[in-house]
Structure 1
Amino acid sequence: MSGELPYTLQNSTSLIILDLSEYYFSGSIPEWIGDKLSNLIVLSLRSNNFDGHIPHKICAGRSLQNLDLAQNNISGAIPKCFNNFSAMATKNKSSGDLEIWTTFQSNVFHLSALLVLKGREDEYSTTLGLVTSIDLSVNSLTGEIPKEIGNLIGLRSLNLSRNLLIGNIPDIIGKLELLESLDLSMNRLYGEIPSSFSNLNFLNHFN
C-alpha cells in the first residue's frame, strides 16, 4: 500500500484498533482520524512516510491508550492537547474492569470493529486495556516537551527519542509514577535530570 490514507476509513467509526504500520503511506496525518475515529484505543502509523504536523484533532481520541507515530517525517511541536487523552490519565484498571475488557475484546474481534494489517490481532488481544504508551521517536519534532504530558499519569512507556526537541526535561514527568520505560535520547535537551524522577519507582529503562 502507498499514497495517502484512504478517505473512506473515516466511515469506520466503530474502529477501536487501527494499525497501519510499516507501509508506504505518505502525506499529512488527516484531521479526521481524531474527529471521526474517536473510539480508537490503539493508533499505530509507525514506519511510514507521513510528514507535516501532528493534527490537534487527534486529541479528540479520549479513549486512546496506545499512540505510535514513530519513524515518519513528522515535524512541528508535540501538541499540548495530549492531556486530553483521558484514558492515559487514569491509573490501572481493577481486576474486575480487566475481566470486562477481556469479554469486550472477544466480542469486538468478531464484530470486525478493528482494522489490523499483518496479523497483529493476537498481540493486541493480550495488551488492550493493559498498556498505555506514546511513541513519537525518529521524527523531526521540535520545541520543548510539553508539561501537559505530566497529566498522563497512566502512561507505562514514553519514547520521544531521535527528534529535535530542546529545553529542559520537565520536572512534571516525575508525576508519571507508573512509567516503566522513558527514552528522551538523541534530542537537544539540556540541564539536569529532575529530582522528581525519584518518584518513578517502576522505571526500568531510561535513556
Structure 2
Amino acid sequence: INHAAAALNTILGRWGKKASPEWNISGELCSGFAADKTDWDNYRDINPFIKCDCTFNNNTLCHITRLRVTYLDVVGQIPAELQNLTHLVDLNLFRNYLTGPIPSFIGKFTSMQYLSLSFNPLSGLLPKELGNLTNLLSLGISSDNFTGSLPEELGNLTKLQQLYFDSSGFSGPFPSSFSKLQNLKFLSASDNVFKGKIPAYLGTMTNLEDIAFHGNSFEGPVPESLSNLTKLTRLWIGDIINGVSPLAFISNMASLSTLILRNCKISSDLGAVEFSMFKQLKLLDLSFNNITGEVPQSILNLGNLNSLFLGNNSLTGKLPDGISSSLKVIDFSYNQLTGSIPSWARQNNLQLNLVANNFLLDTTSESTLPWGINCLQQDTPCFRGSPEYYSFAVDCGSNASIRGSDDTIYEADPTNLGAATYYVTGQTRWGVSSVGNAIDAKNIIYSSQPFQNVVDSELFETARMSSSSLRYYGLGLENGNYTVLL
C-alpha cells in the first residue's frame, strides 16, 4: 500500500490537487471512509476520493480499488503513475481538462468494471488495449476529442452493460465485433462522424433498453431487425442520409417512453402503427420525414404523452376532435392538414404550432389562437395582391429595437418561444416559428458580452437558438430579388 500511496501522491500532485482530510495519503491510506463498507456514492462531497478493499491475503492486505477525481477542472495528461494502481475496479475522471491520448497501459487494469473518462479534451486514437478490460461493465468516453474509428478489440468487452461514446469525434463504420456485446443495455453513439449502415446485428442485442444514434452520417434504411428490441425504453435515431425507411419496425416496442426518429427518410402511412399500445410513451418525434395519412386519434389519446412532434411531413386531412390532458406540446407545422382548427387547440396551457398548413380559419380561430396564424398558412390571405414592404430587419433575441450604423431599424425579438410555438408582430411585418425540445434551457436566447472594435456590436450580443427548427418570415414583401444578411 505504501507503493500505491506514493503513486497517488504523485498523481494528485501533478494535477495540483490535495487529498481530502478524511483520508491521509501520507499515513495509513486505507482507513476511515476509504476502508469502510459504505458505498462510495454516499461520499459524493469528498472529492478526490478513494475506496480500498482490505480482503486481500486473508484480510491482511489492502489495495486501492476505486479512484474518483471529478468536476475539479484538473489540467494535464493521465499520469504514468496511475498504472501502479493495478487493482482498480472503478476509475472516474469525469468532467475535467485532461488532455492527450488515453495511454496504452489502460489495458493493464484487467479488474476494471467501471471506467468514466467523459467530458475531457482527450484526443488521439482510442487504444486497442481497452479490449483487455474484459470485466468492464460500464465505459464512458463521451464528449472528448478522439479521432479515427473504434477499435474492433472493444468487441471483447462482452460483459459491458453501458457504453457511451457520443460527441467524441469517432468516424468510419460501426465495428462488426460489437455484435458480441450481447449484455448491452445502454448504447449512446450520437454526434460523431460514423458512416455506412446502422448495423442489422443490433436486432440481436435484445437486452438493449436505450439507443442514441442521431447526429451521424448513417445510410438508410433503418434496419427492420430493430423490431426485436422489445425492452427499449428510449430509441433516438436521426439524420439518415439516404434510402427509404419503414415505420412498422417500432410496432413491438411497447415499453418505449421516448421515441425520436427525426429526419430518418421514413416513408409510411401514420396508420401503419397501432399507437394505442404505447402506454408509456411521453415523447414522440417523427418530424422531418415523408409520413403520410391522417393523424390518428389513438396518438392524441395516449395518457402519458407530453410532447408530440409531427412537423415537416406529408400528413393530410382534419385533426382529431380531442386530445389527452397530458399533452402540452404539439407540432403539426409544415404538413398538408386541412379543415377547421378543433376547439382543443385553444387551451391556455398548450404549446401548438400549426404553421404552414391549409387550415380553414374562421373568426373564432383567429381571435383565440396566437396572433397571425392566418399569415403563416401555406395559402395565406395576408397582403394578397397588395404587398407593403421591401425589407425587414430583426435583432434576434433582443429586448429592444436597435438602430444600425446604416440607419436600419432592427426590431426587438424578446418573445419567449417554447418547444412548439410561433409569433407574428402586431404590425404583421414579420414572424418566427420555433420547434424542438431544449434539454438544458427553456428560453433559448443566447447572450454574450459586447464585442470590441466591431461595427454595430450590440447586434451580436443576442441570438435565438432552436434544437430542431427555427424559421423567420418576412410578410407583405414586394416581389423581387432580395439580399439576405444573417
**What SS does structure 2 have at the residue aligned with 1:148?**
helix
Q: Counterpart in 2 of 1:113?
A: none
Structure 1 residue 53 corresponds to structure 2 residue 149: yes
Deviation string 1:170-192 (CA, Å, 9 cap, x unpaired) is 00001000011111112325423
Q: Counterpart in 2 of 1:188?
A: 241
1:72 positional shift: 1.1
The one-letter amino acid of 2:186's match is: S
Q: Counterpart in 2 of 1:82?
A: 178
Structure-2 separation of matches of 1:187 and 1:30: 29
Conservation of the 8 A alpha-carbon contact between 2:219 and 2:243: yes
Q: 1:166 aligns with which of 219, 224, 248?
A: 219
Q: Counterpart in 2 of 1:67?
A: 163
1:12 positional shift: 1.0
Deviation string 1:53-110 (CA, Å, 9 cap, x unpaired) is 011110000000111010011100111222201323xxxxxxxxxxxxxxxxxxxxxx
TM-score after normalising by structure 2: 0.33
**What SS does structure 1 have at the residue aligned with 2:232?**
coil
User: Larger % of helix: which?
Assistant: 1
Structure-2 separation of matches of 1:189 and 1:42: 33
**What SS does structure 2 have at the residue aligned with 1:149?**
helix
Q: Counterpart in 2 of 1:135?
A: 188
Unaligned runs of 5+ in 2: 1-97, 261-486
Conservation of the 8 A alpha-carbon contact between 1:70 and 1:137: yes
Q: Among the aligned pairs, what percent are the same residue?
A: 26
The structure, 1 or 2, with the larger RCO (C-alpha pairs under 8 Å, 6+ apart) is: 1
The one-letter amino acid of 2:232's match is: L
Structure-2 separation of matches of 1:39 and 1:52: 25
Q: 1:38 aligns with which of 134, 137, 140?
A: 134
**What SS does structure 1 have at the residue aligned with 2:167?**
coil
Q: Counterpart in 2 of 1:12?
A: 109
**What SS does structure 1 have at the residue aligned with 2:146?**
strand
Deviation string 1:106-155 (CA, Å, 9 cap, x unpaired) is xxxxxxxxxxxxxxxxxxxxxxxxxx110010000000011111111000
Q: Counterpart in 2 of 1:112?
A: none
Conservation of the 8 A alpha-carbon contact between 2:105 and 2:129: no
Conservation of the 8 A alpha-carbon contact between 1:181 and 1:203: yes
Structure-2 separation of matches of 1:7 and 1:65: 23
TM-score after normalising by structure 1: 0.76
Structure-2 separation of matches of 1:23 and 1:181: 26
Decide which structure has the larger Cα Rg and report it. Answer: 2
Conservation of the 8 A alpha-carbon contact between 1:160 and 1:184: yes
Q: Which runs of 4+ in 1 moved over 6 A?
A: none
Structure-2 separation of matches of 1:183 and 1:189: 17
RMSD value, Cα:
1.2
- What is the aligned length? 163
